[in-house]
Amino acid sequence: MGWREVCADAEGVIAGTILMLLERSKVIAEGAGAVGLAAILHGKVSGRGQKIVAVISGGNIDVNMISRIIERGLAKQGRRVRLSMPLTDRPGALCRLLSVVADLRVNVISVRHDRVDPNVPLGLAEVGLSLETRDTHHTQELLTTLQREGYDVKILDHKGQ
């Protein structure tokens, strides 16, 4: 593993720790302020049988960075997924699709419905959904159900991909 991969992995671990602090403790910490806890949580600090303390500090983090950390973290946890699929360009088709999503208690963040793009065949519309699920199992249940219902689903990103 090269230094870029090591750095990217460390940044992901720190970002995950920042997200955990936000969700569980309602604490905003900058990267440097969360690195100690990240190290403890990921087994980088020895001290078996001893009490270990991590100082969590610093709220000097840009709101855009917090937004990216939250979005990537939720995607990595399988709680955010973006899908694309062709849909018959017929009244009620989008409503039927969204009913399947709603019946599974999946939250819709955004919908993109395009029937005029020259790359979309006549008689079809391209639908993009940005969705919020409980976890990876809930996301898999959604994908399985959509496929069973005949939708040709393309996953745009899922679990941080």
Last residue of a domain, one of 75, 96, 122: 75
Under DSSP, the state recorded for 124 is E
Last residue of a domain, one of 52, 75, 98: 75
List the chain pLDDT tens, one digit each, 161 residues. Answer: 554 554 557 788 888 888 889 889 998 888 888 888 888 888 888 877 888 888 898 888 888 888 888 888 887 887 899 999 999 999 999 999 999 999 999 999 999 999 888 888 889 999 999 999 998 899 999 999 999 999 999 998 654 33
Alpha-carbon distances, residue 147 vs 4, 67, 154, 161 (angstroms): 38, 31, 10, 21
Domain that holds residue 136: 78-158
52 token code pair: 């270990």
Q: Are 12 and 61 contained in the same domain?
A: yes
Q: Is 129 helix (H, G, I), strand (E, B) or coil?
A: strand
Which CATH number do you get for residue 114? 3.30.70.260
Q: Are 88 and 105 contained in the same domain?
A: yes
91 token code pair: 């009244």
